[in-house]
Amino acid sequence: MSTHLPLRTCSGCGGVFVKRDLLRIARSPQGDLSLDLAGKKPGRGFYLCRRQLCLERALKNRNFEKKIGTRLPEELLMQLRESIKNGQEVEPCRRNESMN
Please report whether residue 80 would count as binding Zn ion according to CB under 5 A: no
Tell me the window of 1-9, 10-18, 19-27, 33-41 that interacts with Zn ion (CB under 5 A): 10-18
Alpha helices in 1-100 (DSSP H): 52-60, 63-68, 74-86
Please report whether residue 84 would count as binding Zn ion according to CB under 5 A: no
Please report whether residue 10 would count as binding Zn ion according to CB under 5 A: yes
Tell me the window of 2-10, 23-31, 33-41, 78-86 that interacts with Zn ion (CB under 5 A): 2-10
Residues making up the chain, counted from first to last:
100
Please report whether residue 54 would count as binding Zn ion according to CB under 5 A: yes
Q: Looking at beta carbons only, is 10 or 26 nearer to Zn ion?
A: 10
Using CA atoms, how far apart are residues 70 and 56, in angstroms rounded to an integer?
A: 16
Q: Between β-strands 23-27 and 33-35, what pairing exists: parallel, antiparallel or unpaired?
A: antiparallel
Using CA atoms, how far apart are residues 14 and 27, in angstroms rounded to an integer?
A: 20
Q: In the range 12-31, which residues lie near Zn ion by CB under 5 A?
A: 12-13
